[in-house]
Structure 1
Amino acid sequence: MRKRRQGTRREPTIALINIVFLMLVFFMVAGTLSTPLDKDVTLVRTAELEGRAPPDTLVVHENGRMTYRGNDIASAEAFLQARPEDGREVVRIVPDAALSATVLVDLARALRAAGAQRVVLVTERGLE
């Protein structure tokens, strides 16, 4: 009787390559689904802040002009009225980097007074 030779098992690298390729395709598709922000807004930079980019935000430009989904908004009350009833609990603001802090604080206070329970600032994550 002959001894059976112990064969070396090869690792299934093709399966690993397929999984990595599918993940690449998934993230390419998922990354293109979000709508871009206004081109004339420069985001505030922060480092090591956890958060997510929400689809419905109030964009505040450098001069204090506010837009929501591309339309100009006159006041915090008008912004809350333009949102659906269930979207008034948490309000997200995308401020321009050159926006005055006092204007931003006044806007946050006006949103809270108009019925927003929580005001969140959306910023650009720092890469440092």
Structure 2
Amino acid sequence: MTELVPPPSTSGKGLLDRVEDALLPLINLVFLLLMFFIVAGQLTEQPLPELPGSTRSEQEQAPEADLIVTANGQWQVRGATLTETSLLPELPEPDAENPLKIAADQTLSMADLEHLLQLLEKGGYTEVLLLTEPEA
């Protein structure tokens, strides 16, 4: 009677030699990954950013807004309510390194915000920061 399945070819190697041959690529891969993470971990010397929910120091203060937009769409600079024609002269000069900080009420409509941003763009402002408050 003949066998249906031929015996596995061992090519003259013992079981231990075959296991070592199979583990060698895995060992190489683990070594390369280890080297990658060692090198990648030392590329930057900048400290890690603060995680959300971490305690803030008491010396830190929220940034002050250059422009406040109320819920009903009024624009305020240093406490004074301004119109479309008087807004741009009261704002600081456009500066790419110090963007204009805008604090808008969370109920402000997108149309009102878009109108304001178009007005600011016409006035030369290319960089603006929209300040938000985290939900408690």
Q: Which TM-score applies when normalising by structure 1?
A: 0.51
How do 1:42-61 residues align onto structure 2 when only pairs under 5 Å count? 53-61=62-70
Query: What's the offset of the Cα at 1:126?
Result: 3.9
How do 1:72-91 residues align onto structure 2 when only pairs under 5 Å count? 72-75=81-84, 78-85=86-93, 88-89=94-95, 90-91=99-100
RMSD: 2.3
Instruction: Specify which structure has the bigger relative contact order, considering alpha-carbon pairs within 8 angstroms and separated by 6 or more residues.
Output: 1
Q: Gaps spanning 5+ residues in structure 2: where?
A: 1-56
Query: What's the offset of the Cα at 1:117?
Result: 1.6
Q: Gaps spanning 5+ residues in structure 1: where?
A: 1-26, 35-52
Letter in 1 for 2:90: A
Question: After TM superposition, what 4+ stretches of structure 1 lie above 4 angstroms from structure 2?
Answer: none
Aligned residues: 78
Identical-residue share of aligned pairs (%): 30
Of 74, 82, 101, which residue of structure 2 is paired with 1:65? Answer: 74
CA distance in 1, matches of 2:100, 2:72: 20
Q: Which TM-score applies when normalising by structure 2?
A: 0.49
2:111 is paired with a residue whose SS is: helix
CA distance in 2, matches of 1:96, 1:84: 21
Say yes or no: does 1:125 pair with 2:128. no
Cα deviation 1:105-125 (Å, max 9, x = unaligned): 111111011111212211012
Question: Which of the pair has more CA radius of gyration?
Answer: 2
